[in-house]
Amino acid sequence: MARWRKGESGNPRGRPRGAGEIGRLRATIGQALPDILAGLIEKAQAGDVQAARLLLERVVPPVKPVELPEAVPLEGGTLTERGQSVLRLLAAGEIGPGQAAALLGAIGQLARVAEIDELARRIDALERGQKGDEP
């Protein structure tokens, strides 16, 4: 039989959080943070590109390309032809890489669904054939 219940500490009065070396280091940096930031800001304003980059990377989120949704004509009946159609649209610059990736991913998912449907259809046909052989 276990001495403690699940999730219960065997040493509830053990070392408190933040008492280790990392905790002390974080506390020291936290106390010096206003001075560190002020120094970085001064260097950035004086033309230090690395200081400016460090500040901007931490404060301003990176700019992501925005692709507006639009209707995309997918030619062909087979999934392969539709995938080739997406690649042609991408090569022609009519859709962006993100849109092409999303469309190709959707076509891939559709292919998996079609495979599962085909397997289910074949299994049903086999089962019906076996039932017909029974007396």
Rounded to two decimals, the pTM is 0.47
Q: What are 42's two structure tokens?
A: 């001064």
Q: Other CB atoms closer than 10 Å to residue 59's CB: what's the count?
A: 7
> Residue by residue, what is the 3-state secondary structure of the chain?
CCCCCCCCCCCCCCCCCCCCHHHHHHHHHHHHHHHHHHHHHHHHHCCCHHHHHHHHHHHCCCCCCCCCCCCCCCCCCCHHHHHHHHHHHHHCCCCCHHHHHHHHHHHHHHHHHHHHHHHHHHHHHHHHHHHHHCC
pLDDT in tens, the chain (135 residues): 567 777 777 777 777 776 788 888 988 999 999 999 999 999 999 999 999 999 998 888 888 777 776 777 777 788 888 899 999 999 998 888 888 999 999 999 999 999 999 999 999 999 988 876 555
Answer whether 98's CB lies under 8 Å from 67's CB. yes
